[in-house]
Amino acid sequence: MKKTLFICLLLFAGKVVSAPGKVELYIITPVEINYYERLFNAVMAIESDGNIHAFNFRELAAGPVQIRPIRIKDYNRCMGSNYTIVDCFDVEFSKKVFIYFAQGKSYETAARNWNGKWNLTEKYWKKVKSQL
């Protein structure tokens, strides 16, 4: 138990000595477990008002974040999987796809890329930002 506590303290705290007699302690807070969950929820609110059964016949976009067939095709190619548009009605699957394409991007970049062409997405980003 003591060994585990010691290891945890080492992982979450750092000790920096800047001058003799002066010690500074920095506590490192854990990163939010799922950084993109808030963004996913905001996009879901904009795209489908949280309706997991939403379907856009014009774009053939499905599910809570309106995933289009081309995005599923790209996801399958990258992941070596074989999902279909029907799988997009599952919230957890939709979240997995959304986060895959959002990884490493800022909220703004991820949201604007999700919506489409960058130069046409300023208005969309403002909507998403209002939901955050």
Q: What burial class does residue 90 get, using C-beta atoms within 10 Å of its C-beta: 0-12 exposed, 13-18 middle, 19+ buried?
A: middle
DSSP-derived pairing of the beta strands 55-56 and 61-62: antiparallel
Residue holding tokens 């905001």? Answer: 42
Q: Residues 30-66: pLDDT tens digits?
A: 545 589 999 999 999 999 999 999 999 999 999 999 9
C-alpha span between 78 and 89 (Å, rounded) = 20
Residue holding tokens 């999987």? Answer: 81
C-alpha span between 117 and 78 (Å, rounded) = 21
Domains and CATH numbers, the chain: 37-131 (1.10.530.10)
Q: Token pair of 106, please?
A: 């800022």
Residue holding tokens 């003799």? Answer: 20
Query: What pLDDT is attached to residue 121?
Result: 84
Spans of the chain, pLDDT less than 50: 2-18, 31
Where helices occur in the chain by DSSP H, the ranges are: 2-12, 37-48, 69-79, 91-102, 107-115, 122-131
